Amino acid sequence: MGKKTKQSEKVYNDMAWEYDSSPEGNYTRSHKEEIIKKAVLREGDNILDVACGNGYLLGELSKKAGVNAFGVDISENMIASARERYPACTFAVGSCTPLGFENESMDVITVSCAFHHFETPQIFVNECMRVLKKNGKVVIVEPFFTPVVRWLANTVVFPFTKTGDVKVYSQKELQSFFKVAGFTTVESYITGAVLFYSARK
């Protein structure tokens, strides 16, 4: 586990039980709502939410269709909270790399406001390609920063913070990860402070 991942683990363990009412919980809600609004789910789909936190996104997505919902997060306390809140979903403590799921086992993978915490983003995207079924989709929402703010965050702020933030990416940078991994049929847009990105296998 890398330095930034350890920082993330500590930060989210500390805030797990009060996450929804915390400043971060309020900030990330719009990101989750964008996925909930856009997600097209079918009965019986297998959904994996990576960095699932307290399970809110999976719980809401489960209301849209009879899906098999799985969530992983590095924070033990977040997973404990998720299991308590959403007993119909399956949660496990785990990292974004490697993903502990079989080849071609998932229909949809979601990541809400967490990709910028991943220390090995290309390896994670490669894992998504491995785990998704044919025509499966990965959906990512991230904070949208203007180029100047993004540069400041990445070069001045994140290297010195202890919150586990690694790097915030532009649309082009996100697309490059998925292109390298072999994904196609990309959808990407910005709405307010949210950057939405999806790609199909």
Do the Cβ atoms of 70 and 49 come closer than 8 Å? yes
User: How would you classify the pairing of strands 46-50 and 132-143?
Assistant: unpaired
Q: Map out the domains of the chain with their CATH numbers.
A: 3-200 (3.40.50.150)
d(CA 5, CA 137): 25
What's the pLDDT tens digit per position in 90-139? 999 999 999 999 999 999 999 999 999 999 999 999 999 999 999 999 99
**For the chain, counts of helices (H) and of strands (E):** 7, 7
Do the Cβ atoms of 96 and 124 come closer than 8 Å? yes
In this prediction the pTM is: 0.96
Between 185 and 27, the higher pLDDT residue: 27
What's the pLDDT tens digit per position in 125-178? 999 999 999 999 999 999 999 999 999 999 999 999 999 999 999 999 999 999
Position 131 scores a pLDDT of: 98
d(CA 137, CA 107): 6
Per the listing, tokens 């933030």 go with: 165
Do the Cβ atoms of 136 and 201 come closer than 8 Å? yes
What's the pLDDT tens digit per position in 39-96? 999 999 999 999 999 999 999 999 999 999 999 999 999 999 999 999 999 999 999 9
How far is CA 65 from its chain centroid? 20
- Angle between the N-to-C axes of helices 3-15 and 76-85, in degrees from 0 to 180, rounded to the nearest 10: 40
Position 93 scores a pLDDT of: 97
Residue 185 has pLDDT above 90, yes or no: no
d(CA 54, CA 49): 11
* CA separation, residue 70 to residues 49, 65, 83, 101 (Å): 6, 14, 11, 10
Mean pLDDT, to the nearest integer, of 24-52? 95
Mean pLDDT, to the nearest integer, of 186-198? 94
Own/partner long-range contacts of 147-153 (Cβ < 8 Å, ≥24 apart):
none
Position 1 scores a pLDDT of: 80
